[in-house]
């Protein structure tokens, strides 16, 4: 994206600031994100994003979700005397009073930059996991009384693993990129793990677990941690805030944070679940969520990590079969490598489910 387009978009927001420069933030897979520097300040003041409307087809509903959830959290932060400029995202309106800019070059939104905090790409010290987990648990706690059914589905069936498996099956049958023969072992493993796709979906449908406001993308780098204390400051990247299950948030966190490797590690001997990191995260999450978790949700915490890892695996593999049309890739066969990593992790979690259940019991 050119600086001319970015500068034009920034000029349409009611900031009162003079633009200095943009710096790309490359951690995300979907949207284009930039730190915005303004004249007179050394650190970035804003974050601007171009919303990927090929993925998020209803930007109006997406922004309405974010506004509603942030307003709810902001009231609770204010009530306890917290810092609303750091602890909850704040959308900057356009000069026309809109919540986002919709122009010929796309849809853009602008947030205040969360100062003196970092979105870590990996947990180079275990305490980072504890504080991130506590923050995500607290996020669930703060939104436990929010009417989840009023939220739009920004990506329909996003964590509906039965639907995801159907998409995966279609990718196999269509084989539009002609890559099926490269993936026979991975497809076999994914097919054998298919029964896990039903666990959370069926529990929600039966009313065994409650429908909640969920973040649905609770990677470590979606929580800003204080630079001085490492404590959680603000949950970010709210595009996939939707109705769902607490288990989606917990399980995806474990997939990302308690794995010994990066999610696209090519040396599969390095890919396994670290029980010490699982324990660190679990203890923090349960402290943060407090009493706002049911017995059935507690029971399913360990297997949720397997389910979410499996879901991401079949999404990566399906995207590879479809010709890499969803996830950004940075090298040839990147999505296939990602899928192999996630399937390897899923199988390791499967072996460790009894040990994980014992760890959960320690913190109830």
Residue 155: CB atoms within 10 Å: 17
Residues 172 and 218 in one domain: yes
Given a cut of 80, whether residue 26 has pLDDT beyond it is no
Given a cut of 90, whether residue 326 has pLDDT beyond it is no
Given a cut of 80, whether residue 50 has pLDDT beyond it is yes
pLDDT digits (tens, 9 = 90+) for 28-41: 667 899 999 999 99
Give the per-residue pLDDT at 345. 98
Residues 183 and 251 in one domain: yes
Give the per-residue pLDDT at 339. 97
Q: Could you say which of 115, 143, 160 is where a domain stops?
A: 115
Q: Residues 267-275: what's their mean pLDDT?
A: 96
Residues 348 and 264 in one domain: yes
Give the per-residue pLDDT at 1. 61
Residues 29 and 48 in one domain: yes
Q: Could you say which of 87, 115, 143 is where a domain stops?
A: 115
Residues 68 and 184 in one domain: no
Q: Could you say which of 115, 148, 168 is where a domain stops?
A: 115
Q: Residues 110-133: what's their mean pLDDT?
A: 88
Residues 261 and 289 in one domain: yes
For residues 3 and 24, is the Cβ–Cβ distance under 8 A?
Answer: no
Residues 106 and 246 in one domain: no
pLDDT digits (tens, 9 = 90+) for 312-325: 999 999 999 999 99
Residues 341 and 240 in one domain: yes
Give the per-residue pLDDT at 172. 98
Q: Is 211 helix (H, G, I), strand (E, B) or coil?
A: coil
Given a cut of 80, whether residue 124 has pLDDT beyond it is no
β-pairing, 242-244 with 212-214? antiparallel
Enter the tokens of residue 252.
């995806």
At 79, the pLDDT band (50, 70, 90 cuts) reads very high
Q: What is the CATH number of the domain that holds 10?
A: 3.30.200.20
Contacts of 239 (CB under 8 A, 6+ apart): 30, 31, 51, 56, 62, 66, 154, 217
In a domain, 102, yes or no: yes
DSSP string computed for 249-273? HHHHHHHHHSBSS-TT-S-GGG--B
Residues 153 and 238 in one domain: yes
Q: Residues 325-340: what's their mean pLDDT?
A: 93
Residues 198 and 73 in one domain: no
Q: Residues 199-218: what's their mean pLDDT?
A: 96
Range of the domain at 78: 3-115
Residues 105 and 142 in one domain: no
Give the per-residue pLDDT at 263. 87
Residues 142 and 98 in one domain: no
Give the per-residue pLDDT at 249. 95
Given a cut of 90, whether residue 2 has pLDDT beyond it is no
In a domain, 121, yes or no: no
Q: What is the CATH number of the domain that holds 218?
A: 3.90.1200.10
Number of independent structural domains in the chain: 2
Q: What is the CA radius of gyration of the chain?
A: 20
């Amino acid at each position: 994206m050119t600086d001319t387009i970015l500068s034009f978009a920034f000029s349409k927001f009611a900031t009162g600031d003079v633009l200095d420069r943009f710096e790309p933030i490359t951690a995300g897979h979907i949207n284009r994100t930039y730190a915005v520097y303004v004249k007179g300040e050394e650190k970035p003041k804003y974050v601007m994003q171009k919303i990927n409307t090929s993925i998020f087809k209803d930007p109006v509903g997406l922004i309405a979700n974010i506004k509603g959830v942030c307003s709810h959290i902001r009231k609770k932060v204010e009530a306890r005397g917290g810092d609303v400029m750091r602890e909850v995202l704040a959308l900057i309106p356009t000069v026309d009073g809109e919540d986002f800019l919709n122009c010929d070059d796309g849809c853009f939104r602008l947030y205040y930059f969360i100062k003196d905090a970092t979105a870590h790409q990996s947990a180079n010290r275990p305490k980072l996991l504890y504080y991130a987990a506590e923050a995500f648990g607290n996020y669930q706690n703060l939104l436990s009384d929010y009417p989840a059914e009023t939220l739009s589905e920004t990506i329909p069936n996003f964590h509906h693993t039965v639907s995801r498996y159907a998409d995966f099956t279609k990718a196999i049958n269509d084989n539009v990129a002609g890559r099926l023969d490269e993936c026979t072992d991975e497809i076999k493993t994914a097919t054998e793990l298919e029964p896990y796709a039903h666990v959370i979906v069926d529990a929600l449908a039966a009313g065994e677990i409650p429908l909640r406001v969920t973040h649905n993308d609770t990677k470590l780098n979606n929580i800003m941690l204080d630079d001085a204390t490492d404590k959680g400051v603000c949950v970010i990247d709210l595009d996939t805030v939707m109705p769902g299950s607490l288990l989606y948030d917990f399980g995806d966190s474990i997939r990302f944070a308690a794995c010994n490797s990066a999610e696209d590690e090519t040396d599969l001997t390095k890919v396994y679940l670290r029980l010490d990191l699982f324990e660190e995260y679990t203890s923090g999450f349960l402290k943060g969520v407090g009493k706002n978790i049911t017995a059935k949700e507690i029971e399913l915490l360990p297997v949720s990590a397997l389910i979410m890892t499996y879901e991401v695996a079949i999404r990566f593999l399906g995207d590879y079969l479809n010709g890499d049309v969803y996830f950004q890739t940075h090298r040839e066969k990147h999505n296939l490598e990602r899928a192999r990593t996630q399937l390897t992790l899923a199988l390791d979690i499967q072996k460790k489910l009894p040990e994980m259940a014992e760890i959960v019991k320690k913190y109830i």
